[in-house]
Amino acid sequence: MKILIVGYFSETSKSNIVRCFPQDWNVVIVPPGNEMLHHIEDCHVIIPEHIKVDHSLLSIAKKLKLVQTGAGYDNVDVPACTQLGIWVANAAGVNAQAVAEHVMALILSYYKNIPFLDTFMKNKMDEHQLDYTGSELKGKTMGIIGLGAIGKKVAAFCRVFDMNVLAYARNATAQSNDLVKMVDFDTLISTSDIVSVHVPLNQQNKQLINKATFKKMKNTSLFINTARGGIVNEKDLIDALKNGDISGACLDVFESEPLPIDSDLRNLGNVILTPHTAGMPDGRKYHKTRYDFFIKNIKRVENGEEPESKLNQLPCTPSTDNLM
């Protein structure tokens, strides 16, 4: 069986990933480009990053049976895959613990001023001249946009820190409980001390967070995004940070990735940046739990079963002949 993984990986990451898979599987890891187009012709499974899986790409992949993504799948044309009899599945919830921990690490780094203090100490400055501000989390209001697996985990962590937790979700079944109070979108963004985004990128959520949103937020608030860069109008965010409409931001995702070298975000003192690593706790571009899930799902499709966390429904179980 041939597994094609497309993305930008270091040699160490490639080695770690390949070791996860059964030895008799042909695992190919390539960046986007011509080499990818060569391998896609006979691959059975594709795990895509930084590429669009659309009609054009799918027309080349004659043996493809499964498109497997991480939590996000905004780069996959699901209807086109369905039309061609190709399963699409994501790994919803697999990285919930990792991302929620990353969110808390960002919050603590920001309010405890860890980046500044680290730089201060390493520059061997006079500690008697130390001047900085910080804050405790107790009593702060956390606003969570999207109450899926990650949002719920973040809410649970915040409660441990004695924070008040508000949440907004389009899912009508989400209800207030001892952990979280459900509110409307405007109430959340206008009353929260911290606003954290945990929704998928789709047409409904594209640039959900924009100039109007930032104007409604407290000027002391912290904005966090570990979901998808396209959910936020990045120019509006930069303006809000420069103008003092909000106090700061912690970002793991961006409209364009990798983040351009000349991005203003790199030069703002009230911003903490990480390179889309929230869901990769085991090292750059690597999360063993995620790849274990991928392998189980591939085996399900190989055996003629439906994949877990499927995003489409095929009219009948596809043949497994091409997988053997």
Which positions are catalytic? 228, 257, 276
In sequence order, the β-bridge partners of residue 45 are 3, 66
